[in-house]
């Protein structure tokens, strides 16, 4: 069992590292081939933070563990809001920009309700997976269209500005191809190792496929968002920190969740529809209520950060 935990940790490290290298190589190669920075940023780079969840979801679904894949997507969204934003707001209150309230948050509510509808009958079909994937493609194309046709959209939208700022420049094509290939090789291997070790741990402790997705895997794949948010607030880039979380949650539903239904349509653990999806919706609504803050400044303060973090600890205690 100690060996399984060591392999799990190494799997997480390799997964995050290889996802970063894959995104770096793919984005640099696309830029060198003449693809506009905006398109590279909103496709390859913007999906980078969700690449670990996507690969884990694919490996879990192919291993006939759809509950783990779905639990990873929903659990990551819960962890992003309650754990990551909770810790971030405790470090420093997060100011909420008008662009986030106007564009990202309404969309987050819509896709979250879509996820609720899909899991409400305890079955995830391939058709529902393709609908989510079509929604993801529409979301990306819509962002590109709006940004290209608005002079200030990129500056106002943290998801867009962060993605475009992260596009590597002046990278030799040979170096870009090298890291792309390394990422393509290590990413699926690390995801497979991670899922296998997580399953071994789950069996040892008598945990269900769903529970391992909601806890160990979800928290592990949310660590890049935690690092990005902490770095953002330390640089006084509150919108980028919050935009990273909202963008990641939208991607988790539209891109990550869709993979489970497409690769392995299956009946779902009833706890998803009866418990976990409502926790995700409740966390999303709490985020919006705290962000609007009709009584004063639009910010998530330290007290609210503490409430979010306490809610996450309570949720983990309840399901474990």
DSSP 131-172: HHHHHHHHHHHHHHHHHHT-SSHHHH-HHHHHHHHTS--S--
pLDDT tens per residue across span 113-164: 999 999 999 999 999 999 999 999 998 888 778 767 765 555 556 556 666 7
pLDDT one-digit tens code per residue, 279-291 = 999 999 998 888 8
pLDDT of residue 34: 82
- Which pLDDT value is given to residue 238? 66
**What total number of domains does the chain contain?**
1
Q: Which of 301, 316, 313, 286 is nearest to 108 (CA)?
A: 286
Helix (H) or strand (E) holding 299, with range, is: strand 299-300
At 294 the pLDDT is: 57
| Nearest residue to 96 (alpha-carbon basis) of 290, 303, 244 | 290
Per-residue confidence (pLDDT) for residue 155, from 0 to 100: 54
On whether the CB atoms of residues 140 and 119 are closer than 8 A, the answer is: no
pTM of structure = 0.87
Consecutive sets of 10 residues in the chain, 320 residues long: mean pLDDT of each?
85 86 86 78 70 87 92 94 92 74 81 96 95 92 76 57 72 90 88 85 85 90 81 72 82 93 94 96 92 70 93 95
Burial string for 34-47 (b: 16+ CB within 10 Å, else e) reads eeebbbbbbbbbbb
Tokens of 299: 């910010």
pLDDT at 267: 95
Judge contact between 191 and 52, C-beta under 8 A.
yes
What domain range includes position 59?
Answer: 2-319
Cα–Cα distance, 25 to 182 (Å, whole number):
9
* Bridge-based pairing state of the strands 266-267 and 299-300: unpaired
> What pLDDT was estimated at residue 161?
65
Q: What is the CATH number of the domain that holds 284?
A: 1.20.1420.30
Q: What is the pLDDT of residue 156?
A: 57
What residues have CB less than 8 Å from 64, skipping those under 6 apart? 264, 266
Are the C-beta atoms of 252 and 73 separated by less than 8 Å? Answer: yes
> What are the DSSP calls for 46-101, one per residue?
TTGGGHHHHHHHHHHHHTT-HHHHHHHHHHHHHIIIIIIIHHHHHHSPEE--HHII
């Amino acid at each position: 069992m100690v060996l399984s935990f060591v392999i799990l940790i190494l799997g997480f490290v390799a997964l995050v590292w290889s996802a970063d290298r894959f995104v770096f190589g793919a984005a640099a190669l696309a830029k060198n081939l003449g693809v506009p920075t905006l398109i590279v940023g909103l496709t390859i780079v913007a999906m980078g933070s969700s690449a670990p969840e996507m690969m884990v979801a694919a490996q879990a679904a192919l291993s006939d563990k759809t509950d783990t894949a779905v639990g990873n997507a929903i659990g990551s969204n819960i962890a992003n809001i309650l754990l990551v934003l909770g810790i971030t707001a405790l470090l420093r209150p997060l100011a909420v920009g008008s662009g986030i309230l106007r564009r990202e948050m309404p969309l987050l509510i819509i896709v979250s309700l879509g996820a609720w509808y899909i899991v409400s009958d305890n079955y995830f079909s391939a058709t529902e997976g393709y609908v989510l994937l079509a929604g993801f493609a529409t979301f990306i194309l819509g962002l590109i269209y709006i940004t290209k046709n608005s002079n200030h959209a990129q500056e106002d939208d943290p998801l867009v500005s962060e993605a475009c700022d992260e596009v590597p420049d002046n990278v030799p094509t040979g170096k870009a191809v090298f890291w792309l290939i390394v990422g393509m090789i290590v990413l699926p291997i690390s995801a497979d190792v991670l899922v296998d070790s997580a399953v071994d741990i789950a069996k040892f402790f008598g945990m269900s496929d769903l529970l391992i997705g909601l806890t160990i895997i979800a928290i592990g794949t949310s660590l890049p968002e935690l690092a990005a948010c902490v770095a953002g607030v330390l640089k006084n880039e509150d919108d980028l920190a919050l935009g990273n979380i909202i963008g990641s949650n939208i991607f988790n539903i539209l891109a990550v969740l869709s993979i489970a239904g497409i690769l392995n349509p299956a009946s779902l653990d009833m706890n998803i529809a009866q418990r976990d999806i409502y926790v995700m919706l409740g966390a999303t609504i709490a985020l919006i209520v705290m962000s609007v803050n009709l009584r004063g400044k639009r910010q998530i303060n330290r007290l609210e950060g503490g409430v979010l973090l306490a809610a996450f600890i309570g949720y983990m205690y309840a399901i474990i």
